[in-house]
Amino acid sequence: MSKARIAVMVSGGGTNLQALIDAQNSGIITSGSVKLVISNNPDAYALERAKKAGIQTAVVSKKQCGSQDIFEEKIKEILSIKKIDIIVLAGFMSILSANFTNAYPERIINVHPSLIPSFCGKGFYGLKVHEAALKYGVKVTGATVHFVNEIPDGGKIIMQKAVEILEGDTPETLQKRVMQQAEWKILPEAVEKVCSEI
């Protein structure tokens, strides 16, 4: 049986990418295979992780492309050459236009570090999400894996997992716990689910 071909788009350390590579090695992801890692940052440590795992990489910098359109066209071109079936945004710090997301309906997945619809949308990324959750005083947060459309964090939800907020949490401790207890678990499971349905 042929597996769905996965591209992971990254900007930084690539901990979610590592979770996907590990899930593939441990048999959690069996219906898909990570074939490509694309970064908009040439210095992203995620590229090292991909190389170690023997996965092809590509760097597309918006600055070098000069515009969002050229940037997205270049990425589309690479995805097409590699015959990619599904795109996973794993800490990809560049908002994609409707022009891009509409080309891959229900084929782009993102993981967001809160229980959508809380603390999501424009401007909510990284530590900012956890800062907002603590400031608001919620007792439970978590992570959401969802399909990507033209609205930031606005696509259909695939999976969610709750994480309790503890007394004395800082944005940093909370971020770490949400990654370990939620993101790294549900992202591979959601990827497997979508790949198995393709």
73 exposure class (CB count in 10 Å sphere: 0-12, 13-18, 19+):
middle
* C-alpha span between 9 and 26 (Å, rounded): 22
Which CATH number is 4-197 given?
3.40.50.170
Please tell me whether residue 189 adopts helix, strand or coil conformation: helix
End-to-end CA distance of the chain: 12
What residue has token string 């999501």? 120
Question: Which positions are annotated as active-site residues?
Answer: 112
Per-residue pLDDT of the chain (198 residues; tens, 9 = 90+): 789 999 999 999 999 999 999 999 999 999 999 999 999 999 999 999 999 999 999 999 999 999 999 999 999 999 999 999 999 999 998 889 999 999 999 999 999 999 999 999 988 999 999 999 999 999 999 999 999 998 889 999 999 999 999 999 999 999 999 999 999 999 999 999 999 999
Cα 161–Cα 36–Cα 121 angle in degrees, nearest 5: 40
Spans of all domains in the chain: 4-197
